Structure 1
């Protein structure tokens, strides 16, 4: 009978019993792989002692040195030529910058492949075999560098780049199966899914590539949507958000399915987690739903000028959780979407950009009110931003203690340019116009008279007891 070691509690069932043979099997497999790699390395090192293999290594080193010299010669000249391309689009300049940074490997790949093709034509293929392996590795590494430049995230770019380099090297050297077996031995099973280092590496590479493709497709499509003037700004934001969610979700599920992970078993667990998150993240979910409602009803859109409480500014962007509002003093407020749905919001440019402003002022009783109204309207219309197409009016609103009170109403069509500054310019125009036409702006005047004790007593004022002393 086979001996085994109990690693579980008594009575836990035969499925939980792990035998010594099951424990030793992965170790034996690792030892076999290590012995195989050792033998291959020994054969490779012995092959380097052959004259033609040694010559090929020397040739590769010489070609790399020549590539370094060519980089030192042509690098500055190419940089000067790039600096003279002022009218070129930015994407072309970025491509040239990436190529300029990789001139040495580009020269090396070009030189070594030219050498391989020449040697294959004039001598036996075996005398250029090692050079062809080096050339294939160099070309693969260089291609990985250029392809991973599409990934914007530096961390994700490094992970995908190093993973692709390692896989390309193993594939070219014919060591993929040994590496997969070695990585798969370091793992464990959960139900019908096996988690191992091989699955981790595959998931990083596959998900990284799919997410990069999804981001590239989203960026390209979003730029075209934003350039379409037939679509309103709020609908543009909504389409871009839905597109981002759809592409990233598709990339995630395709990547998980390609790894052989069945998501149906996680349905119950994800439902329970969803209920828990629903109670804990009510505000977050409310803001997300409010953001979708704002985009659908088009109540606000990027560029609108709004007032919410004491915050006045224009909308910079619409996010999934908040709206970015920039004020005239450069402050950027991140207002939750829920506040815009439940609160009272003044949208100064909802249906149109016309805004009426009111200014209150007063003049002396000796000034003709008909002349004052006429001069006030002319002063307001002399300011640049005040519209002539919409009537500017001035009305008497009351007779004050020391002045006749007026209200001046005028229209503007650019609230994003500010409201306080246009009011200040109209006040200055009123001041100059009234000063030029002899219209006075009264202000309260008070006269203070100091009385002695006898006068105060005769006037019936209260006199303190010690005032007579």
Structure 2
């Protein structure tokens, strides 16, 4: 245990049961009470006056405000009481409050960068545990000894002599710079997604380009901060290029295809497309793959290269209207003019069917058992599915046919016995 930490714990043990400890405990309780009242007032104001889009940001700031406001009061009281007595308890409390603020800040930033899920919770718990562990090692006096031990372990990388402490510092620096770059890229992405003047593809492409550039700059800053030669990047880039040319050519092709799709605007998020045997709505465009949500609720991950080398049917590229067809068959004795009118009436009465283009019914052929008819309607919300629409139309046609005595034939076979 270091001399400073040892002295702090000795002073705390000596002050227990004396007015010195009482004053410090009173200051800590008072600081927590004042911070709690400030937080309550801000929370009440946010819930009653602030706009909805401000509540998340102000609520997160309010969570940080409690440890920070308590810390400010404790530090001010420490400076005042330091003229007459020991303030070791206040020093310990300030370290704990600083660690609490760091934990809450990291948790907020991670929730802003990473989507909710199991991975986010694991990262949050890991980072919070590391922060509290570092604080515990510092207060116990073990941390300085650990740093000295890590610094004593030295080895050479090429001509440079490094130690474990330097490597850990470099790794921590790179992680922090990457973390900041991801946070900035998410801020820029949110701002870009609110620019309605830009096409959705353009916004997604710009957001991804900004993220890649910021991450590259973050890595360069992290490497230069630990004293590594940046000329190694050129060697690494050459090796990466060779690797992409041989072993990773399909992955590189998917990334390049993704940027081509985003730039040429042939497809966009929300389009209704048919890719191979998959029909659905484009839910997301990534740099490597596309997420297609089928009408049954399932999602298909399709590599971007597939969209470049294979035909893609875009049902809503220039027009969002989608055609839906319903085939029926009526008996040969039926009044075809009436049947055509009833089919159109069943379509017009449905709320999802568009008036323009108008629904239409046609005769498509004469079959063995009856006359084939086809009803064609247009809808504007194909993302809601077509199975329920077809079911509703069949039910409406069935009721209209029953009301007008129009029969739907079924296969019949006539058997004749010859030769008595």
Quick check: which has more Rg, 1 or 2?
1
1:435 paired to 2:414:
no
Residue 55 (structure 2) pairs with residue 85 (structure 1)? no
Between Structure 1 and Structure 2, how many residues are aligned? 402
Maintained 8 Å contact 1:238/1:295 = yes
CA contact (8 A) 2:328 2:374 kept: yes
The 10-residue stretch of structure 1 (156-165 or 143-152) with the greater mean CA deviation from structure 2: 156-165
Match of 2:78 among 116, 132, 135: 116
Change (3 A) 1:259 1:377: same
Instruction: Give the structure 2 partner of residue 144 of structure 1.
Output: 102
1:169 Cα deviation from its structure 2 partner = 8.0
Deviation at 1:386, TM superposition (A): 1.3
Structure 2 alignment gaps of length 5 or more:
111-122
Instruction: Give the whole-Å Cα distance in 2 for the aligned partners of 1:366 and 1:51.
Output: 109
Specify whether residues 201 and 49 from structure 1 end up closer, same or farther in structure 2 by C-alpha distance, changes over 3 A only: same
In structure 1, distance between residues paired with 2:265 and 2:203: 11
Cα distance in 1 for partners of 2:168, 2:20 equals: 32
The match for 1:62 is 25
Structure of greater relative contact order (alpha carbons < 8 Å, 6+ residues apart):
2
CA deviation after TM superposition for structure 1 residue 317, in Å:
0.9
Normalising by the residue count of structure 2, what TM-score does the alignment of the two structures yield?
A: 0.79
In structure 2, how many angstroms separate the alpha carbons of the residues matched to 1:290 and 1:146?
Answer: 40
For residues 5 and 333 of structure 2, the distance between their equivalents in structure 1, rounded to whole angstroms, comes to 113
Alpha-carbon distance, 1:252 to partner: 0.9
SS in 2 for 1:443: coil
Task: State how far apart, in whole Å, the 2-side matches of 1:142 and 1:398 are.
Answer: 77
CA distance in 2, matches of 1:392, 1:53: 88
For the aligned residue pairs, the C-alpha RMSD in angstroms reads 4.2
> How far apart are residue 158 of structure 1 and its match?
4.4
2:396 pairs with 1:411 = no
Q: Where does residue 312 of structure 1 map in the other structure?
A: 279
Contact 2:284 2:292 in 1 (8 A): yes
Q: Of 299, 311, 319, which residue of structure 2 is paired with 1:352?
A: 319
Pick one of 368, 375, 378 that aligns with 2:335. Answer: 368
Question: Which residue does the alignment assign to 2:119?
Answer: none
SS of residue in 1 equivalent to 2:372: strand
Pairing 1:291–2:254 present:
no
Shift in Å, 1:408: 2.2
TM-score by length of 1: 0.72
Distance 1:368 1:49 in 2: 101
The alpha-carbon distance between structure 1 residues 270 and 194, as it changes in their structure 2 partners (threshold 3 A), is farther
Partner of 2:390: 423
2:11 and 2:88 in contact (8 A); partners too: no
Question: What is the CA distance between 1:399 and its match in structure 2?
Answer: 2.4
1:276 Cα deviation after fit: 3.0
- Equivalent residue runs for 1:251-400 within 5 Å: 251-265=218-232, 267-400=234-367
Distance (Å, rounded) in 2 between the aligned partners of 1:277 and 1:361: 55
2:214 is equivalent to residue 247 of structure 1: yes
Which whole-Å CA distance do the structure 2 matches of 1:194 and 1:301 have between them?
53
1:416, CA displacement in angstroms? 1.0
